[in-house]
Amino acid sequence: MAYGAYMNTDRGYDLSLFESDGNAARKKKAAPKKTYAKHNNVIELSTPMYDKAQRRKHNVGSIVLGIACAAVITLCVGFIIRGQVELTELNQQIASAQVQLEEAKSEYTQMQTKMEASLSTAAIEKYAQENLGMSKATAQQKEYISLSEGDKAEVYTQKKSNVFTEIGDFFQSLWS
């Protein structure tokens, strides 16, 4: 129906709006617009009702519990941070100790090679020839000995001693 009512007004096909004579369009007035009544949507609250809505009673127990929980969490985070700082410091000390150990090992290796070089037979022979005036033994200087006489064994016999010799031996053992 709404479509048919719109078609009866011929507004969609109003060709007078396109005519060169503008008076025809002005003569024909548009349908009056409907005006709607404005409603006041504002709700007014009385002052005591407004104050009650804004004020909220705070539960002291929940506030204290919240503060206590925040303190515990802060302490836990603080202990964790402190532990991490100590761990970092200990790791740095370990790293510096390892560097010192490697340096000490390197120095030990250098000293060991210097010592081995100074104690080699060639170095000893050179020192003996230059500083001490020694030379290698020749065949004429070598003397051979033989031990074909056999082994000897001695038997220890205990001397007879008296009381005075034992006292003398006692004092002698104290002073020596």
Q: What is the pLDDT of residue 95?
A: 97
Q: What are the tokens at 7?
A: 């078609």
The reply to whether 142 falls in a domain is: no
Alpha-carbon span 168 to 176, nearest angstrom: 12
Q: What is the pLDDT of residues 118-148, one digit of tens each?
A: 778 888 888 888 888 888 878 777 777 777 6
3-state secondary structure of 173: helix
Q: What are the tokens at 112?
A: 């060991």
Q: What is the pLDDT of residue 27?
A: 53
The reply to whether 138 falls in a domain is: no
Q: What is the pLDDT of residues 58-97, one digit of tens each?
A: 789 999 999 999 999 999 999 999 999 999 999 999 999 9
3-state secondary structure of 155: coil
Range of the domain at 124: 59-130
Which pTM was predicted? 0.37
The reply to whether 99 falls in a domain is: yes
The reply to whether 49 falls in a domain is: no
Q: What are the tokens at 65?
A: 């519990």
3-state secondary structure of 120: coil
The residue count of the chain comes to 176
The reply to whether 67 falls in a domain is: yes
The reply to whether 114 falls in a domain is: yes
Domain tally, the chain: 1
The reply to whether 144 falls in a domain is: no
The reply to whether 97 falls in a domain is: yes
Alpha-carbon span 70 to 62, nearest angstrom: 12
**Element containing residue 125 per DSSP (H, E):** helix 121-130
